Structure 1
Amino acid sequence: MEDIKVLIQAALGKEKADLVIKGGNLVNVYSGELLEGYSISIKGDKIAFVGEDADHTIGEATRVIDASGKILVPGFIDGHFHAYVSFDELLKYSLPAGTTTIFVDLFDLTTVAGYEGAVALLDSVKGQPSKVFGMASFTYTPPSFLRQEGIPISGDEVDRLLQREDVVALGESLWTCVIDEHEEVIGSIVRATNRKKKLEGHASGAKGNKLVAFVASGMSSCHESIRVQEVLDRLRLGMHVMIREGAIRQDLEALSEIKDKKVDFRRLVLVSDGIDAEYLLNYGHMAHLVQKAIDLGFRPMEAIQMATLNVAEHFGLDNLVGGIAPGRYADILILPSLAKIDCEYVISNGQVVVEDKKPLVQTREHAYPESIMNSIRVPRNLLPRDFAVPAGGRKGKVTVRAMKLITEVITEECHVRLPIDHASILADVEQDILKASIIERLSGSGKIVSGFIQGIGLKSGACACSYSWELGSPVVVVGASDVDMARAVNRVVELQGGLVVFKDKEVMAEVPLPVGGLMTKGRLETAVEGFVKVKQALIHLGSTLTNPFLTLQTMPGTFLPFFRITLQGFADLKNQKLVDLIVE
Structure 2
Amino acid sequence: MNDTHSAMAAMSLDEATRLMDTALGRRPADLAIVNANLVNVYTGEILPNQGVGISGRWIAYTGEDPRASIGRETRVIDAAGKTVIPGLIDGHTHISNPCLPSEFLRYVMKGGTTSLIAEMMEPYPVAGTDGAIDFAEALGDQPIKIFTTMPAMVSISHACRGIALDDLRILADRPETVGIGESYWQAVIQSPEVYLPALLETRRRKMVLEGHTAGASARKLQAYTAMGITSCHEPVKPVEVLERLRLGVTVMLREGGVRKDLEVLAGILETGVNLRRVSVCTDSVAPDDLVSNGYLECVVQKAIDCGFAPMDAIRMATLNVAEHFHLDHLIGGIAPGRYADLVIIPDIRTIQAEWVVSNGRVIAEEGRLLIQPRRHPFSEASLNTIHLPRRMEAADFDVASPAKGPRVRVRAMEMVTDLVTAERHLDLPVADGRISADPPNDIVKIAAIDRRITPGKTFTGFIKGLHMTHGAVAISAAWDSTDIIVAGANEGDMATAVNRILDLQGGFVICVAGRVVEEISLPVFGYMSLESIETVAEKLKRMARVIREMGVTFPDPALSFVTLTGAAIPYLRICEEGYVNLKDGVTSGLFPDDCGEGEN
TM-score higher than 0.5: yes
- 1:303-347 alpha-carbon deviations (Å, 9 max, x no partner): 100000000000111110001111100001011122221111100
Aligned residue number for residue 459 of structure 1: 469
Deviates more, 1:15-24 or 1:439-448: 439-448
Provide the residue aligned with 1:113 in structure 2: 127
Residue in 1 that maps onto 2:148: 134
User: Counterpart in 1 of 2:52?
Assistant: 40
Secondary structure of the residue aligned to 2:313 is helix
Number of aligned positions between the proteins? 579
CA displacement 1:359-386 (0-9 Å, x = unmatched) = 1002111011111111011122211111
Match of 1:333 in 2: 343
Q: What percentage of aligned pairs have identical amino acids?
A: 41
Instruction: Give distance in 2, aligned partners of 1:378 and 1:528.
Output: 29
What is aligned with 2:391? 381
Q: Give the deviation of 1:393 after TM superposition.
A: 4.7
What value does the CA root-mean-square deviation take over the aligned residues?
A: 1.5
Instruction: Name whichever of 503-512 and 370-379 sits farther off.
Output: 503-512
Is residue 190–residue 585 contact of structure 2 (8 Å, CA) maintained in 1?
Answer: no
Unaligned runs of 5+ in 2: 1-12
Residue number in structure 2 paired with 1:520: 529
Counterpart CA distance in 1 for 2:170 and 2:350 is 43
The answer (yes or no) to whether the contact 1:78–1:272 under 8 Å persists in 2 is yes
**Structure 1 residue 575: Cα displacement:** 4.6
Match of 1:319 in 2: 329
> Counterparts of 1:34 and 1:186 in 2: how far apart (Å)?
45
Q: Does 1:18 align with 2:30?
A: yes
1:578 matched to 2:592? The reply is no
Could you give the per-residue CA deviations for residues 261-297 of structure 1, whole angstroms, max 9, x where no partner exists? 2111111010011123222212221101101111111
d(CA) in 2 for partners of 1:576, 1:175: 12
With over 3 angstroms needed to count, the CA separation of the structure-2 counterparts of 1:213 and 1:443, relative to structure 1, is closer
Q: Which amino acid aligns with 1:511?
A: I
Asked if the contact 2:153–2:160 (Cα under 8 Å) also holds between the matched residues in 1, the reply is no
Paired position in structure 2 for 1:494: 503
The answer as to whether partners of 1:141 and 1:185 remain within 8 angstroms in 2 is no
Q: Is the contact made by 2:184 and 2:567 (CA closer than 8 Å) also made in structure 1?
A: no
1:65 is aligned to 2:77: yes
Residue ranges of structure 1 left out of the alignment (5+ in a row): none
3-state SS of paired residue (1:226): coil
Alignment deviations for residues 371-413 of structure 1 (CA, whole Å, 9 cap, x no partner): 1111011122211111111113523112222101111111111
In 2, distance between residues paired with 1:570 and 1:283? 38
Distance 1:486 1:312 in 2: 48
Q: In structure 1, what is the equivalent of residue 63 of structure 2?
A: 51
SS of aligned partner of 2:314: helix
Alignment-derived partner of residue 364 in structure 2: 354
How far did residue 195 of structure 1 move?
Answer: 1.5
1: CA distance between counterparts of 2:565 and 2:190?
21
Cα deviation digits, residues 151-199 of structure 1 (max 9, x gap): 5742111012112221011111222233345223211112112212111
Aligned position for 1:529: 538
What is residue 182 of structure 2 aligned with on the other side? 172
Q: 150-159 vs 297-306, which deviates more?
A: 150-159
- Contact 2:458-2:577 at 8 Å conserved across structures: no
Report the Cα distance in structure 1 between the residues aligned to 2:385 and 2:244, rounded to whole angstroms: 39
2:101 matched residue in structure 1: 87
CA contact (8 A) 2:153 2:162 kept: no
Residue 27 of structure 1: aligned partner? 39
Tell me the residue number matched to 2:492: 483
The CA distance in 2 between the partners of 1:247 and 1:284, in whole Å, is: 12
So what's the TM-score if we normalise by structure 2?
0.94
Q: 1:189 to 1:153 in 2, by over 3 A?
A: closer
Q: What letter matches 1:538 in structure 2?
A: I
Identify the residue that residue 189 of structure 1 maps to in structure 2: 199
1:569 matched residue in structure 2: 578
Is the contact between residue 30 and residue 73 of structure 2 (CA under 8 Å) also seen in structure 1? Answer: yes
Change in 2 beyond 3 A, CA 1:520/1:259: farther
Q: What is the alpha-carbon distance in structure 2 between the residues aligned to residue 368 and residue 537 of structure 1? A: 31
CA contact (8 A) 1:440 1:448 kept: yes
- Matched with 1:78 is 90
Contact residue 122 and residue 480 of structure 2 kept, 8 A: no
